[in-house]
Amino acid sequence: MTKQSCKSISYVIGDAAHTGSHVLPVNSIRSNGSDMLFTAGRDGALVVLDSDSNLCNHIQLHSDWCNDVVWHSGSTLVSCSSDLSVKWWDFDTNEHGLVGHHEDYVKAMCRVSSGHIVTGGLDKVVNTWDLETRSKLSSIDNTEGEMGSIYSMSSFERMVTFGDNKATISLFDTRSNEIVGRLDGHGDIVKSLVMGSNGQLLSGSSDGTVRLWDLKRLEEVKQYTFDGSIWSLYSDDVNLNKFYTGTSQGTLYETNQDLTKPLGQESSGLLSICKFQDELWSSNMGDSTMKNWNDAAKTKRGAPGLIKSRLLNNRRHVVTLSTDNEVVLWDIVKCRQLQKFGTDRAFEDVINQYQTQEILPTWCQVMIRAGQLFVVIKESNYTNTELYGDDIREYVSSRVNDDTRYTLGKMVLTSIFHRFVEYEMNKDQEIRELRMREIKGNSKLSLLTKFSSHDNTPQSSSLPTPVEESKQSYFDAVADQHHQQSLQADDHAEDAHQLEESGNKRRLKLFSRKKSTISSVSTADDERGMQEDIPEGSLPGSNETSRKPSEYDANSLGTLIVEARQFYQNATTLNSLSTSQWQPPPVEEVPLIDGLPENLHIIVNECINNSSSEVAIYSDELRNLQMTTLENVLPRWLGTYLLKNRCIVKDYSKVGFTIQPDSTSTGLPALAQGVGRLNAYSMLRVKRILAYITDRFEKPTTEMNQGLQAESWLQVLCHGKVLDNRMTLATVRSVIWKQSGDVVLTFRRRQKETKAIL
């Protein structure tokens, strides 16, 4: 049975990959035993240094803390993360992908002599993976009541030891896939393990002790006591006579033949220790520096990372604070940095300076993960926020109507994936033309067989491809098609919502929200079952290749493609093939955002077992997105919108209000049919209320006879405060009215000395 799941889209603003310096503390330092040093940081990055400690390569592989890394073979590293994933990376070719995932943070890992990878995490599970097939070989449950979370691992040959929060060390034989022994004696979490080749084991615990064990007899041999919790251990002595200990107090100790001495002190706890080229390295919890204890000149200073963010009321700007106390203002629609304020301005002061009084629903979730700014878009919220045309002019070069509302989340998603839509439109055209030739008897090719391959470009060179810049793109064609009617459309005729007057049948349309020529319907109507299963197998072309489509494709865009191709295959007339199954949103309805950064990091996330926990199943930079891989991993809800212009139609909240002449108003006609209770969508602007008022006057004023716009001579007030014409009812209710019941609005002729409330 196909597993049901939910998916979301994330993008990372700022540098998509690190410059070689970690921006958050380094959780793990490892080497290949000869000429390469590897580091994994809380910034989700992996860094490779050569024998002279110079940078060889780096990658932003994870979207959360990278907790451990092991060298597998050649130029291949494997890492585990708090983003729940286990991933591989070839630092020579830069190829990378997903091995698998846990259901909670993956805290520790090791490699056994068979080449298999063993991982353990807070889900209390030990998994064994085959890196060649990207498959899980076995799984062992370490649960004991509420305990059993795994924090440390070490291996020798095919034997693995792992420590947990039960203060227990377990011996796991990967050949028999069984727990063959347990060691008890620690009084707290076992945080670090080192196995020797002589059948002995060193363990460090939060109880402040390091213990030496005989694994053959399953007995404790010696115990060493230190000044704090043991966070890290290292030894390259096969007999474990000499080892190094890092404590939560930041002290580094050397123990040699039972003699222990401190080597130095850091400002915070030591996370990892490693000896490389006869030089001792360590990392600490306080910053992203990697210290060389033998040669200070080789110490690697880290860069600052983000630690705090605040999304402002306009739902477009975010203020962040970094580890070096620098405050920065970002635009999450442009995906760019707007202004740096240095370290002299306080985080809250900048927020207060740039905060607006707008009241808008949220269309995304903004968070700091791995020291970077993440924007997460889900099906449940991407249609929430609408902006008027005059608010989006800075983002688009196409023509927009100031009084039309545009959905911000749709604009962002369409702009990120517009090349993918062009690719699918061109591919769809080729498929329909091929089917037409079949119907005409010019070809006996099987449609579904021919297009089961996963080439990233259409097979026929006679048709346009998404990368041929000399040919008109789909979006340009749509823009040309709708341009004239867009220019000539009357504002009121295009209104999508109405201002309703209680007890009165007369209505004036006030919202200027353009309707698509393609009706938007609930995705529930479109969630039909697949008529044909997508073949199982790895995802060709993907850089996250371990998972089979059968595990998650029921919720993927690929099911829409199968349904469309099945429709074409079943078609028996040329007329039924003349129209594409794809009808993307037109540019006049969803303008493209100009100049998104090509290195913008795009991530596709999937929930695990319908829980709130997510794992990244695909990630790449905007310029490198793989089209056929996206077919398999993008969520169905996104495909339904991008390719069919269908989404969940939401019933936006309304605001009840009344309109009456202000007590200072003179010389204005009375309102026809008196004053009634009105009800309008919360995004209605004061400007449109002015139009409603003039429409209801019993007779025209001098200004109306002169053809003047209402906003040039009339003004609306609430609680005696003049309202800005761009203010919405939602803002008026929350910022000015501030009480229950219908909002009371008054109007009068504009007074020059009066300043409007913004």
In this predicted model, what pLDDT tens digit does every residue of 729-739 receive, in sequence order? 999 999 999 99
Q: How confident is the model at residue 610 (pLDDT cuts 50, 70, 90)?
A: low
List the strands of the sheet with 336-340, edge to edge: 306-311, 317-322, 327-331, 336-340
| DSSP summary character for residue 299 | -
pLDDT for the residue numbered 194? 98
Q: What is the spatial distance between Cα 140 and Cα 170, in angstroms, rounded to a whole number?
A: 12
| CB-CB contact of 560 with 389 (8 Å) | no
CA 273/CA 156 separation, integer angstroms: 19
Coil vs helix vs strand at 224: strand
Mean pLDDT computed over 104-121: 97
Percent of all residues in the chain with a pLDDT value above 90, rounded to a whole number: 77
Q: Which of 524, 225, 510 is nearest to 388 (CA)?
A: 510
Ordered by start, the domain boundaries in the chain are 1-18+306-422+455-497+539-549+581-650, 21-99+269-302, 654-749
pLDDT (0 to 100) of residue 465: 31
pLDDT of residue 580 exceeding 60, the answer is yes
Q: Is the pLDDT of residue 481 over 70?
A: no
Distances (CA, A) of 624 to 325, 416, 439, 569: 33, 12, 37, 32
Pairing of strands 270-276, 654-661: unpaired
Q: Both tokens of residue 676? A: 């009634």
Q: What is the CATH number of domain 654-749?
A: 3.10.20.90
Look at residue 409 and give its three-state secondary structure: helix
Q: Find the angle CA(628)-CA(632)-CA(635) to the nearest 5 degrees.
A: 125
| pLDDT at 442 (0 to 100) | 54
Strand order in the sheet with 178-184: 150-156, 159-164, 168-173, 178-184
Q: Across 112-266, where does the E strand assignment appear? A: 117-121, 125-130, 135-141, 150-156, 159-164, 168-173, 178-184, 190-195, 200-205, 209-214, 219-225, 230-234, 242-247, 251-256, 259-265
| pLDDT tier for residue 751 given thresholds of 50, 70 and 90 | confident
What is the pLDDT at residue 297? 94
Q: What pLDDT was estimated at residue 488?
A: 35
Q: Could you give the CA distance from residue 163 to residue 218 in angstroms, rounded to a whole number?
A: 15
The span from the CA of 690 to the CA of 711, in Å, is 7
Q: Which residue has the higher pLDDT, 21 or 17?
A: 21
State the Cα–Cα distance between residues 541 and 10, nearest whole angstrom. Answer: 20
Determine which of 110-124, 527-541, 713-727 has the lowest per-residue pLDDT on average: 527-541
The model's confidence at residue 754, banded by pLDDT at 50, 70 and 90, is: low
Amino acid 145: pLDDT: 92
pLDDT (average), residues 403-415: 97
Burial grade of 505 (CB within 10 A; 0-12, 13-18, 19 or more): exposed
Q: Which residues pair with 260 in a beta bridge?
A: 255
- Region 346-362 average pLDDT: 95
Beta pairing, strands 654-661 & 743-749? parallel
Phi-psi sector, 316: left (phi>0), alpha (psi -120 to 50), beta = alpha
Is residue 621 within 8 A of residue 16, CB to CB? The reply is yes
Residue 677 is predicted with a pLDDT of 86
Calculate the alpha carbon distances from 366 to 90, 337, 339 in Å. Answer: 31, 15, 18
Average pLDDT over residues 216-236: 96
Q: Note the pLDDT of residue 672.
A: 85
- Indicate if the pLDDT at residue 648 is higher than 50: yes
> Distance between CA 559 and CA 639 in Å, rounded?
9
Class (C level, CATH) for 21-99+269-302:
mainly beta
pLDDT above 80 (res 246): yes
Using CA atoms, how far apart are residues 196 and 215, in angstroms rounded to an integer?
10
Amino acid symbol at 379: E
Residue 590: name the closest of 383, 426, 424 by CA: 383
- Which among 714, 616, 591, 585 has a CA at the least distance from the CA of 659? 714
Q: Would you state the pLDDT for residue 450?
A: 52
The residue among 497 and 583 whose pLDDT is bigger is 583
pTM, whole model, 2 decimals? 0.81
As a whole number of angstroms, the distance between CA 171 and CA 695 comes to 82
The Cα–Cα gap between 645 and 201 comes to 61
Half-sphere exposure of 205 (CA within 13 A, CB side): 25
Measured between alpha carbons, how far is 347 from 327 in angstroms, rounded to an integer?
6
217 CB-near residues (< 8 Å, 6+ apart): none
Is the fold of 21-99+269-302 the same as that of 654-749? no
Q: Which residues, at least 6 apart from 277, have a Cβ–Cβ distance to it below 8 Å?
A: 51, 53
Which of 116-120, 127-131, 338-342, 610-614 comes out lowest in average pLDDT? 610-614
Query: Confidence band (pLDDT; 50, 70, 90) for 543?
Result: very low
Residue 265 near residue 5, CB atoms below 8 Å: no
Task: Decide if pLDDT at 456 tops 70.
Answer: no
Residue 408 has pLDDT above 60, yes or no: yes
% of the chain at pLDDT higher than 70? 83
pLDDT (mean) for 309-314:
97
Instruction: Quote the CA–CA distance of 495 and 401 in Å, as a whole number.
Output: 12
pLDDT above 60 (res 454) = no
The confidence score (pLDDT) of residue 612 equals 74
Give the phi and the psi of residue 187 in degrees, each rounded to 5: -110, 5
* Rounded Cα distance, 149 and 129, in Å: 19
Beta strand pairing call for 45-49 and 37-41? antiparallel
pLDDT band at 123, cuts 50/70/90? very high
465 compared with 746, residue with greater pLDDT: 746
Quick one: average pLDDT of 707-726?
A: 95
